[in-house]
A and B are shown apart, each in its own frame.
Chain A
Amino acid sequence: MTNISLYTITSCLILDKDGKRLYGKYYQTQTLHPELTTLAQQVEFEKKIFDKINRVNQDILLFNSNLVVYKQVNDVLLIIVANLDENESLIYQLLSNLNDSLNILLDNTLDKVTILEKYDMVSLCVDEAIDDGVILEIDSSVLVSRVTNPPSGASLGQDLNLNKIDISEKGFLNALSFASKKIGERLQQGL
């Protein structure tokens, strides 16, 4: 039966490379998806999807009467879950535009570290795209234009200093995580 209501999206997830949740929002659980109400149910659901994605690496799959579209970007996984009968192309478009917007908002470094660091931007961006399971906006440039940057700081000298430390520390950690990813891959290939 075609879903005629505005409530189209079941869930929007961002998982890290171990399947751990970085961002997870389930919509209309009380009314439409009672099987995904508790945290335990949700974690179980995410684990199953993650296993499935790990096995077959290809943008879209059907899982337990859910339509799951996903994108692997660096060390994170963007996932949108919708009803089985939902328009596949539409949901995928939403996902890929969300991905584009996040890339712009996070200065082309869409990875776990940056997501956690700029969590305010990520939450706002998802909220502007999907509210309560309703697709609010699908155009990526409009999405970006709706998300405010953090306040530019109270221009305290201390703050300025800190910024510098931030950047260098972040750069170092970025390099470290990049290296460890590469090493991990090599090891896996070797095995």
Chain B
Amino acid sequence: MSTSSYKKGDPYSHAGAADKMAIFQECLQQFNATPVNARKCRQLLARLLRLIYTGEVFPSQESTTLFFSISKLFQHKDASLRQLVYLAIKELSSTSQDILMVTSSIMKDIQSGDLIYKPNAIRTLSKVLDPTTVSASERLFKNAIVDKNPIVSSAALTSSYNLLPIAKDVVKRFNNETLETIQSFKQFPPDQFQLHEYYGGATTSLPTTSYMYQYHALSLLYELRNHDKMSLMKLITSLSDGSSLRNSLAVIQLIRFINKVLLDDDSLIQHLLPILINFLKHKSDSVELEACKTIISLQHLISKADFANVVNTLQKLLSVPRTATRFAAIRLINKISVKHPKEIITVNQELENLINDSNRSISTLAITTLLRTIGAGTVESDSTVEVGSESVDRLINKMTSLMDDITEDFKIVIIEAIENLALKFQSKHKKLVSFLTDLLKDEGSLELKSSIVDTLFDLIKFLKDKDGKQAILMSLCEFIEDCEYTELSVRILHLLGDEGPNASNPSYYIRHIYNRLVLDNSIIRSSAVIALSKFAVICGGKVSQNIQILLSRCLNDVDDEVRDRAALSLKFIANNEKNLIVNESKYDLAVLENKLIHYLNNESNFADQFDINEIPAISNEELTSLEYENKLNRLDKNDEMEVEPTSTEGAKDDSNADQSNDLLKQQEFEQEISQVAEFKDYGKLTKSSIQPIYLTEKENEFVVTCHKHFFLETSKVVLQYNITNTVNHLIAQDVSVIAQSDNPAYVEEFILSVDELRPNETGTIYVSFTSPSLAEDELVSVFGNTLSYTNREIIDDEGNIDESDEGWTDEYQIGDLEILPGDFIQPLYNSNFDSVFDQLPLEDSTVVHLKGIKTLENAITKLKDDLNMLPLDGTDYVPSDSNSHILKLFGRDVWGGKVGILVRLALTGGKLVAKLQVKTETEHFSNTIVDGVGV
């Protein structure tokens, strides 16, 4: 190579990747030259690969030309050149045409080529084969799989694995060879380490085999057998003795198979758990980790003693020097702490040490986990409360000292964890609130302060304890005395206006708000005016008069916005227009936006006025329950996706979207249904089930989902079946669903069927019923559903059907649909369940056995979902290993009455018994609930 050409391809040129066209030309020239200069060609290929790996893509024609000239290099015998040729062919194979032409050269290499590039040849072969040519190489692959050289074997196994999508039937014939490979012992040839000069003669410390072929064979075998559970079980038990699998990746794979089997059938746990427990002690970190992971994902099946084993292993892993392992271990511990905080109290010491870990993610996880385990102490008996509060003290001290030297987004994560703790374990809030307010007084960016203020706002909304609320409000008052961020002051003033008038000492807040009027800028002054006027209308009497005096002074303010607001407020107060100052309800903004867009898009609408009454108003009560639910969901989500301060923001958006989506969806249903002429007289749609209920498997030929629509005014129920035809060659005609109720009070009126359903189309079938009224009969029912249709086969590419062929009719049973009490209830939040529950007039009670449910947690989830009610006072959280639990559910029924249920759950002898005390405002509805639970 000349100096000039060396300069041209200057690898450390800062001008970026070398010129694509120049390399292309040089490749063609050099590869076609005789004799081939191996050294030069290898260098050229390296430059070509560099282009590819930095993102250049050759268009099909150029790629094919390159491919063709590279194949010329097969004439050269040099092994080191050949190895790179294979890599280049592999990378170009996806963009080139006519790649089959190199097949024979590759096959020749596999049969009689040099050992060093034989594995490369095998792996490249799987890239150039197509479904029609695979079978020609069957013999070759079989021989390679059973080859004594582990690397050749691995290459053949992974290549077969890659061929699965295009030639599964051929690969299936490798079953025996693959099985044989798992149990065989393959060794590197004696000269393995002399192929590369680095190791020279030294062979003593080098491995004789890495057993990677076991991993590849095991995975391939799984793909070949995964539909046969029995043979998979046999494979697992035959390999689980600990000595057959020598490769840690293979063991990890085996553990994953066990996990998979158990997910499908958890009755096998007795057999398989001992195997998993064995792997908790292994020489490789990654195997131990995988075993822990799997056992934790099966935690509902695991006894306490076995759990302790897992925690022991994790404890050991927490102290290894490798960051990745420590990180993985604490991630798992954090996951346990969500459900079983008590089990991991033993590792608290290690966790406290990890707070100062150099890896920020690890220390964050350590803190959030600690916060949770401490919370666990407080829900226990009195003696542990002492211990709990002691450790809260200690942790808060530790965090206070830590807060100085950590970054802000880290602080925000901790603040969220504290909020979580304070919400779930309200008795602990005092310490935590004082920690937060101290933090609020320190220096900090707007983002940090906002997150503290957000947290405090939420605590005010959801704390039960009046004194606690007052303490927060008072510290917020102090904060705005000296707050540099206008937007925060405005938000706090707004909150003070909402919460202050109902507190025991409104004059305290009025004083602080008035200070703002004197001392702050005009934006803050105007919101202070509004806040004060709220005090005036709510407190009335003397307070109102005093405030009017204060406000009248604002009429001379320099800023016109402040003057306007003051004048307006004074007018409203004088005329006693309370509802113009204090909002009892809000419009649903998502629906409002939707309606407005609809209205503006069509000028013909302008003839009529926009009717604001069409927009559902959300009362404050309902708003709080939505927010509360979102809050808890979000906190739970954070638990899953810890560590990432950026991702939590995404989660926030999601849950907000969810909520507005529900209302939008309801709106959509209303519109869809109003389009159908038959439903004209049905009146207003009262409620629909939002989430589609799957009545078939999602992979079925016809996928059926269902929504329930209730019209209470006219006593109708409409079942909406959405049917998707996933068969490519069939057209379904006269598609209909026959729904039969086990409750004679539901009388079918008519079916709106679908005439024709082409492939990948979704059709909607409506079945209408007259429903019983609440007073006369029970509402709960189960519908048996049968899908019926006529099959017509598609005979040509345009999707036409053979008119002469009548097709055949088919009918089959799909899943049952239940109408549950939850269909008539909406979750509602209330901060004081006990007193509201006492006041509900009508009562009923029942005792049910919950069949097929083995844990309290599952029972709570089922009750919550079936009844569609909101668990209050954190009662959806079950402390581990308790056998009884009290669940408080609250909601509002569709007739407008409140519904409260007190559920006492007990776990005895593996059976779950629930005693429900149902209290309602609507007559007869409690019967419905009592009838419907546990069906």
Measured CB to CB, the residues of A under 8 A from B are 2-6, 21-25, 39, 42-43, 56, 58-64, 69, 87-93, 104-105, 112-113, 116-120, 123-124, 127, 131-132, 134-139, 141-142, 144-154, 158-159, 162, 165-166, 173
B647-706 contacts to A (CB < 8 Å)? 647
Nearest-neighbour CB distance to chain A for B20, whole angstroms, equals: 13
Asked if A21 and B55 make an inter-chain contact with CB atoms under 8 angstroms apart, the answer reads yes
Q: Are B212 and A136 in contact (CB under 8 A)?
A: yes
Q: A88 — which chain B residues lie within 8 A by C-beta?
A: 289, 324-325, 327-328, 331
Chain B CB within 10 A, most for which of A116, A135, A144, A166? A116
A24 with B54, Cβ < 8 A, contacts A58-B358, A89-B328 known = yes
Q: Report if B819 contacts A (CB, 8 A).
A: no
A2-B256, A39-B55 in contact; A59/B323 too (CB < 8 A)?
A: yes
CB-CB contacts of B731-768 with A at 8 A, as 1s and 0s? 00000000000000000000000000000000000000
**Complex Cα gap A131–B116 (Å):** 17
**Alpha-carbon distance between A134 and B159 when the two chains are bound, in angstroms:** 10
Which of A5, A58, A166 meets B219, CB within 8 Å? A5
Taking a contact as CB atoms under 8 Å apart, the answer to whether A113 and B192 are in contact is no
Contact status A137-B84, CB under 8 Å = no
Least CB distance from B162 to A in Å reads: 6
Beyond A89-B325, A150-B43, list 8 extra A-B contacts (CB 8 Å): A5-B223, A6-B158, A22-B54, A59-B359, A61-B361, A63-B644, A145-B196, A154-B39
List 6 contacting pairs A-B, 8 Å CB cutoff, sorted by A. A39-B55, A60-B327, A93-B285, A123-B49, A136-B212, A145-B192
Instruction: Please name the residue on chain B nearest to A43 by beta carbon.
Output: B55
State the CA gap A162–B80 with chains docked (Å).
21
Q: Are A138 and B196 in contact (CB under 8 A)?
A: no
Interface residues of B in 819-866 (CB under 8 A from A): none
Q: Is the CB of B324 within 8 A of A69?
A: yes
Q: Are A138's CB and B42's CB within 8 A?
A: no
| CB proximity of B417 to chain A, nearest CB, Å | 17
A49 shortest CB reach to chain B, Å: 12
Residues in chain A near residue B45, CB distance under 8 A: 120
Contact pick for B84, options A25, A120, A162, CB 8 Å: A120
Contact: A116 with B12, CB < 8 Å? yes
> Min CB distance, A183 to chain B, in Å?
17
Q: Are A159 and B54 in contact (CB under 8 A)?
A: no
B123 interface residue (CB < 8 Å to A)? yes
Chain B residues with CB under 8 Å of A116's CB are: 11-12, 50
Partner of A148, one of B80, B359, B647: B80
When A62-B643, A162-B3 are in contact, do A141 and B193 touch as well, CB less than 8 Å?
yes
Closest A residue to B87 using CB positions: A127
B361 / chain A contacts, CB cutoff of 8 Å: 56, 58, 60-62
Contact residues in B for A5 (Cβ distance below 8 Å): 219, 223
Question: Which listed residue, A89, A135, A136, A141, touches B206 by the CB 8 Å rule?
Answer: A141
The answer on a CB contact under 8 Å between A6 and B46 is no
Task: Given A2-B256, A88-B327, answer yes or no on A93-B210 (Cβ-Cβ < 8 Å).
Answer: no
Q: Which 5 interchain pairs have the tightest Cβ spacing?
A: A92-B324, A148-B80, A88-B328, A116-B11, A120-B46
B83 to chain A, nearest CB (A): 5
Residues of B within 8 A of A60 (CB): 323-324, 327, 359, 361
* Residues of A contacting B155 in the complex (Cβ-Cβ under 8 angstroms): 136
Number of B residues whose C-beta is below 8 Å from A? 86
Complex contact B260–A148 (CB within 8 A): no
Q: Separation in Å of the B145 CB from the closest CB of chain A?
A: 15
Q: Restricting to B257-284, which residues have a CB under 8 Å from any CB of A?
A: 257, 259-260, 284
Residues in B with CB closer than 8 Å to A137 are: 151, 154, 210, 212
* B53 contact from A4, A123, A145, Cβ within 8 A: A123
Whether A119 and B158, one on each chain, are in contact in the complex, defined by CB atoms closer than 8 angstroms, is no
Establish whether residues A24 and B198, one from each chain, have CB atoms under 8 Å apart when the complex forms. Answer: no
* A148 and B161 within 8 A (CB): no
CA–CA, A154 and B42, complex, Å = 13
- Is the beta-carbon distance between A87 and B252 smaller than 8 angstroms? yes
Contacting A at CB under 8 A, from B44-77, are 45-47, 49-50, 53-55, 57
Q: Please give the distance in Å from A144's CB to the nearest CB on chain B.
A: 6
Instruction: Check B792 for interface membership: any CB of A closer than 8 A.
Output: no
Contacts A88-B324, A119-B11, A138-B249; A25 near B210 (Cβ below 8 A): no
B197 interfacial by beta-carbon distance below 8 Å: yes
Residues of B within 8 A of A132 (CB): 158, 162
Q: Which residues of B contact A162 (CB under 8 A)?
A: 1-3, 6
- Provide the residues of chain A in CB contact with B322, threshold 8 Å: 89, 92
Residues of the B chain whose Cβ atoms lie less than 8 Å from the Cβ of A131: 123, 158
A3 to B293, CA, bound (A): 13
Closest to B328 in A: A88
| A151 and B42 contact, CB distance less than 8 A | yes
B360 and A151 form a contact (CB under 8 A)? no
- B806 CB within 8 Å of chain A: no
In the complex, the answer to whether B193 meets A145 with C-beta atoms within 8 Å is yes
Contacts of B195 in A (CB 8 A): 145-146, 148
Asked if B256 and A56 sit within 8 Å, CB to CB, the answer is no
**What are the residues of chain A within 8 A of B212 when measuring CB–CB?**
135-139
B49 engages A120 (CB within 8 Å): yes
A25 and chain B: residue at smallest CB distance: B53
Residue of B nearest to A104 (CB): B198
- The answer to whether A87 and B289 touch (CB under 8 A), given A123-B49, A131-B158, is yes
Min CB distance, A123 to chain B, in Å? Answer: 5
Closest chain-B Cβ to A161's Cβ sits at a distance in Å of 9
Closest to B44 in A: A120
B921 lies within 8 A of chain A by Cβ = no
Q: Assess A4 versus B256: contact at CB under 8 Å? Given A24-B54, A117-B11, A123-B87.
A: yes
CA A165 to CA B2, docked complex, whole Å: 11
Asked if A138 and B210 sit within 8 Å, CB to CB, the answer is yes
Which residues on the A side are within 8 Å of B12 (C-beta)? 112-113, 116-117, 173
How long is the Cα–Cα vector from A64 to B649 in the complex, in angstroms? 12
Chain A residues near B123: list those with CB within 8 A. Answer: 131
User: Can you list, as one digit per residue, whether each of B870-886 has a CB less than 8 Å from chain A (1) or not (0)?
Assistant: 00000000000000000
The one of A58, A117, A148 in contact with B196, judged by C-beta atoms closer than 8 angstroms, is: A148
Kindly list chain A residues whose C-beta atoms are within 8 Å of the C-beta of B206.
141
The one of B84, B207, B331 in contact with A141, judged by C-beta atoms closer than 8 angstroms, is: B207
B435 at interface, CB cutoff 8 A:
no
Q: Is A134 within 8 A of B328, CB to CB?
A: no
Closest A residue to B210 by CB, please name it: A139
Q: A89-B289, A119-B50 given as contacts; is B198 within 8 A of A136 (CB)?
A: no
Q: Which residue of A lies closest to B16 (CB)?
A: A20
Q: Does B457 contact A (CB under 8 A)?
A: no
* Alpha-carbon distance A104/B199, docked complex (angstroms): 10
- Within the assembled complex, what's the spacing in Å between the Cα atoms of A118 and B49? 12
- Which residue in chain B gives the minimum CB-CB distance to A63? B644
Residues from chain B with Cβ under 8 Å of A93 in the complex: 285-286
Q: Do A87 and B199 touch across chains, with their CB atoms under 8 A apart?
A: no
Per-position 1/0 for B216-228, Cβ under 8 A of A: 1001101100000
C-alpha spacing A44/B210, complex, angstroms: 37
- Residue B893 at the chain A interface, CB threshold 8 Å: no
B23-41 interface (Cβ within 8 A of A): 37-39
Task: Give chain B residues whose Cβ lies under 8 Å from the Cβ of A3.
Answer: 256
Minimum CB–CB distance for A83 against chain B, Å: 12
By a CB distance below 8 angstroms, the chain B residues around A91 are 324
Those of B626-662 within 8 Å (CB) of chain A: 641, 643-644, 647
Contact of A90 among B49, B249, B260, B643 (CB under 8 A): B249
Inter-chain contact A154/B37, CB cutoff 8 Å: yes
